[in-house]
């Protein structure tokens, strides 16, 4: 048996030696046939020419040439085309523009316990058109047009000024036209939408590209103006966003939006000033209240992440700002939350600094039976909220919509971009 093993080993060794010898002979033969195989310092290799073939049969026509053959769908060719296209787009986008139209969504901040750090993009949109002009002017139409400022205190102008300062360019006279579908000063992020729209419009008009076009650098400018990221982050990116400041810069991450989530909003007719609502809050809170809110925020984020809508009811509870605001200026808040949840809502909370009350319902999954049930729930919740409003003598309206997964976008430019839209969803 040992003799057979030794014979097998000898045969394997001989076969390996023969194979290595054949490879070495082939290598030496190729070197002798290739003049460029000599020392690269003495004889540098010739410049290679690239050919692109649409038909593999065309390769034969290059016999005798020193060619690198790239087929249309090769990785190298795709990368070359992408880089060339990107450079062209970036060069074109860096040219000053005459006019730009930007679309921005509403947002609902705090979501209960997530004070100044959690927000949701809402499917209500405002369009802002800014064009170079002979003199400064603001015109507006739509929801809240009569209430918004028409001078340089308008947050759209603030955003445009910040953009031109970033570009280090002189700001020209501009005409602003606002088509508003976001209720003004109602706790639905109208100021953040204005800031983001202004920054984007200003950057486009100035022909200035941010280091990362449209994402993190845009967030830094907008959040620095607003002072917190809970509204501006969803306006830029869409969806649910969690934001913090790490001592150096603003950071934000997307939290999944549960499928089928619907929004039922009671929007009072009166304006709620964020500065006044913030003035009601205490500078310090009790340890028990802090622990309460920390636990609710964790529960809220987990419920969103796993799509457990039943737990949203507990996740949106708050002791940091809602009790103080309800006691002072929104007596309808807690009765309306209770009525909405009893009518079938997953949860309800004060949107931003108010006065809007936001309720969430479920069911829009695409199944016809679930869809009908969802619609019944939406209208049942809406009626319950309106009944409470009437009981407290608060005039207002109900809006039923959904979360928006999309954020701000450039929809029209003069001269136009090579791409139809520029959107800002880098942190999906």
Q: In terms of Cα–Cα distance, which of 382, 354, 403, 424 is closest to 110? A: 354
SS3 281: coil
Q: Show contacts of 373-376: CB within 8 Å, 24+ apart.
A: 374/260, 374/262
Percentage of the chain surpassing pLDDT 70?
A: 71
Mean pLDDT of the chain: 82
Q: Classify the C-alpha dihedral 41-42-46-47 as positive or negative.
A: positive
Instruction: Flag whether the pTM goes above 0.85.
Output: no
Q: H-type helices in 280-421, by residue range?
A: 287-306, 312-315, 322-328, 333-342, 368-391
Q: pLDDT tens digits, residue range 340-366?
A: 999 999 999 999 999 999 999 986 544
Q: Which of the residue ranges 58-72, 245-259, 336-350 would you say has the lowest mean pLDDT? A: 58-72
d(CA 146, CA 127): 16
- The domain made up of 262-402 has a fold known as Alpha-Beta Plaits (3.30.70)
- Confidence at residue 9, expressed as pLDDT on a 0 to 100 scale: 54
Percentage of the chain surpassing pLDDT 90?
A: 63
Which tokens sit at 354?
A: 């108010």
Q: pLDDT tens digits, residue range 260-276?
A: 899 999 999 999 877 77
pLDDT value at 251 more than 60: yes
**Residue pair 136/149 in contact by the 8 Å Cβ criterion:** no
Q: pLDDT tens digits, residue range 89-108?
A: 455 556 889 999 999 999 99
**Residue pair 391/304 in contact by the 8 Å Cβ criterion:** no
Q: Which of the residue ranges 55-64, 74-83, 302-311, 341-350 would you say has the lowest mean pLDDT? A: 55-64
- pLDDT confidence tier of residue 280, bands split at 50, 70 and 90: confident
| CATH of span 98-255+406-423 | 3.30.230.10
Please state the φ and ψ torsions of residue 109, each to the nearest 5 degrees. Answer: -100, 165
d(CA 263, CA 191): 21
Q: Which of the residue ranges 6-10, 81-85, 167-171, 227-231 would you say has the lowest mean pLDDT? A: 6-10
pLDDT value at 37 more than 50: no
Which tokens sit at 185?
A: 């000063």
Read off the pLDDT of each residue in 152-165 and give the average, rounded to a whole number. 97
Domain range annotation of the chain:
98-255+406-423, 262-402
């Amino acid at each position: 048996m040992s003799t057979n093993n030794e014979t097998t080993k000898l045969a394997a060794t001989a076969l390996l030696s023969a194979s290595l010898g054949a490879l070495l002979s082939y290598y030496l033969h190729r070197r002798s046939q290739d003049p460029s195989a000599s020392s690269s310092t003495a004889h540098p290799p010739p410049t290679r020419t690239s050919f692109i073939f649409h038909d593999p049969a065309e390769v034969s026509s290059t016999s005798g040439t020193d060619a690198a053959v790239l087929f249309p769908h090769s990785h190298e060719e795709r990368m070359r085309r992408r880089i060339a296209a990107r450079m062209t787009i970036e060069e074109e986008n860096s040219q000053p523009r005459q006019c730009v139209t930007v679309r921005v969504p509403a947002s609902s901040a705090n979501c209960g316990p997530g004070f100044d750090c959690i927000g949701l993009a809402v499917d209500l949109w405002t369009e802002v058109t800014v064009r170079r002009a002979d003199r400064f002017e603001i015109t507006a139409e739509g929801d809240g047009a009569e209430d918004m400022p028409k001078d340089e205190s308008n947050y759209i102008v603030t955003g445009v000024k910040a953009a031109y300062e970033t570009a280090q360019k002189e700001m020209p006279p501009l005409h602003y036209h606002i088509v508003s579908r976001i209720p003004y000063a109602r706790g639905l992020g109208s100021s953040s939408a204005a800031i983001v729209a202004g920054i984007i419009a200003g950057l486009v008009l100035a022909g200035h590209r941010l280091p990362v076009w449209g994402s993190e650098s845009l967030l830094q400018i907008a959040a620095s103006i607003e002072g917190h990221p809970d509204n501006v982050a969803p306006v830029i990116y869409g969806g649910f966003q969690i934001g913090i400041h790490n001592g150096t810069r603003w950071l934000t991450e997307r939290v999944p939006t549960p499928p089928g989530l619907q929004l039922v909003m009671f929007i009072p007719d009166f304006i709620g000033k964020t500065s006044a609502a913030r003035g009601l809050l205490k500078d310090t809170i009790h340890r028990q209240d802090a622990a309460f809110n920390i636990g609710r925020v964790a529960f809220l984020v987990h419920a969103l992440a796993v799509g457990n809508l039943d737990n949203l009811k507990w996740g949106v509870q708050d002791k940091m700002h809602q009790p103080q605001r309800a006691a002072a200026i929104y007596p309808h808040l807690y009765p309306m939350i209770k009525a909405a949840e009893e009518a079938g809502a997953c949860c309800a909370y004060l949107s931003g600094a108010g006065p809007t009350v936001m309720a969430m319902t479920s069911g829009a999954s695409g199944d016809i039976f679930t869809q009908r049930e969802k619609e019944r729930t939406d209208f049942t919740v809406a009626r319950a909220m309106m009944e409470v409003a009437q009981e407290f003598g608060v005039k207002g309206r109900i809006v039923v919509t959904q979360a928006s997964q999309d954020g701000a976008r450039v929809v029209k430019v003069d001269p136009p971009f090579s791409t139809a839209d520029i959107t800002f969803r880098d942190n999906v």
